[in-house]
Structure 1
Amino acid sequence: MAHTGTAAGGQRGSRDRDADGRARNARPRDGLGRPLPHGADGVARQPEGVVRAPRETVAEAQALLAAGKPFHAHEVFEDAWKSGPEGERALWRGLAQLAVGLTHAARGNATGGARLLRRGADAAEQWAAGRGEDRPYGMDLTGLARWARELAGRVEAAPGPVDAAAEAPRLTS
């Protein structure tokens, strides 16, 4: 592993770092975002910090979810959360939580998956209620919250990995 960057106190760190010195694991990742050994073939990572129009965010995240890559969809939602208007950040953060919840469920982490699915469902419902808008950018927030709670219940009742592509929600109806 390359030793780049400097740890606190001026010592060289053992973590991979990006050009700005932030810790970044350079190992390839699988479709669920899990690190693979150095040199392994992995799934192309989503570039970070991409500013997209909201409907582009929804379309790209939907394609990734349908392909069984909820971790990567979460990164698309995270970009919208971090770059979007202040009034929409809670919406995009909640959608990122839904995608991470599906990621954990697909990895077999029933407790973490269910918790994040419910947290994302709550965020989507709260955002919709606070604005009186249930279908921003064509998304069905009520349907997404229902999907998330139903999946959370199933992963708690029968722990074990779920098929991320088969369980992927439809963001729009």
Structure 2
Amino acid sequence: MSLRDELLKAGLVPSDKAKNLESETRKREHETKKNKALSAEEAARQAEARRKAEVEAARKREQDRQLNLKREAEKHRREQAARARQLIDGHRLNDPAAELPYNFQDGRFIRSVRVTPAQRKALAMGRIGIVRGDRSQYDFPLVPRETTVKLGEFAPERVLLLYDESSGDEAEDDWGDW
């Protein structure tokens, strides 16, 4: 016999109060079980949210790293362009009074630059070269061989023409027979 039954038999507790007490006890047990299930579900949801947050943070870090790499590459490219511009402008040999056209190949195009007779000979002997300037689309500075070689080391796309260096003696001998 249970304690409830004994209290009912002794008349210490009315039967409706005992039923209410038993009902409340069952409800509490049910709520406790339900809360345990809910707390397990809540813990699973929190774990999933933490996992998603970690994945998102890792994705964000990778995205930031890629963006930083792009920024560094762009910064390096700008520095190289500035260095090339400074090198070309500091060693430009173009003469505004030059009248002789000198034709050369720029990719699939034939371009022309005005030179003096001495510059034409220096171009043929490889003492000066033609590079791509950035003042306009048709800016082709003449620069000394050393500058052209140096420019070719870090900006080879700017070097348009540089012949192998030779002395002028054999060139004059070859043309003397004509």
TM-score for the superposition, normalised by structure 2: 0.20
Question: Which of the two has greater helix per residue?
Answer: 2
Greater radius of gyration (CA): 2
Question: Which of the two has greater strand per residue?
Answer: 2
